[in-house]
Amino acid sequence: MAAEEPLLRVEHVTRSFPRPRAEGGGLLHACDDVTFDLGREGAEIVSLVGESGSGKTTLARLILGLDRVDGGHIRYRGRSLATLGARDWLAHRREVQAVFQDPYGIYNPFYQVDRVLEQPLRRFRLASGRADERRRMEEALGAVDLRPADVLGRFPHQLSGGERQRIMLARLYLIRPRLIVADEPVSMIDAALRTMFLNILLDLRQEGMSCLFITHNLQTAFYLGGRCLVLYRGRLVEAGQVDDILSHPAHPYTRMLMDSVPSADPGQRWKDEIPARAVESGQAPLPTACAFVDRCPAAMAICRAERPRLRQTHTGQHAACFLYDPAHTGLGDANRTPQACPDTLVGG
Binding site for Mg ion (CB under 5 A): 56-57
Q: Which residues contact 97 (CB under 8 A, 6 or more apart)?
A: 171, 172, 175, 177, 179, 180, 181
Number of Cβ within 10 Å of residue 73's Cβ equals 16
Are the CB atoms for 70 and 98 separated by under 8 Å? Answer: no
Interacting span for ligand ATP (CB under 6 A) from 54-62, 109-117, 290-298, 306-314: 54-62
CB of 279 to ligand ATP, least distance (A): 8
For 71-221, list the strands marked E by DSSP.
71-76, 79-80, 96-99, 179-183, 210-215
- Binding partner at 254 among Mg ion, ligand ATP, none, C-beta below 5 to 8 Å by kind: none
Interface characters, 263-282, with ligand ATP (x: CB under 6 A)? -----------------x--
Q: How far apart are the first and last CA of the chain?
A: 19
Partners of residue 340 on adjacent β-strands: 311
For 58-196, list the strands marked E by DSSP.
71-76, 79-80, 96-99, 179-183
Interacting span for ligand ATP (CB under 6 A) from 35-43, 52-60, 73-81, 339-347: 52-60
* DSSP 8-class letter at 270: B
Instruction: Using CB under 6 A, count the residues that bind ligand ATP.
Output: 12
Q: Does 55 bind ligand ATP (CB under 6 A)?
A: yes
Which of positions 14-33 make contact with ligand ATP (CB under 6 A)? 17, 28, 30
Q: Does 185 bind ligand ATP (CB under 6 A)?
A: no
- Binding partner at 155 among ligand ATP, Mg ion, none, C-beta below 5 to 8 Å by kind: none
CB of 273 to ligand ATP, least distance (A): 10
User: Site residues (CB under 6 A) for ligand ATP?
Assistant: 17, 28, 30, 50, 52-58, 280
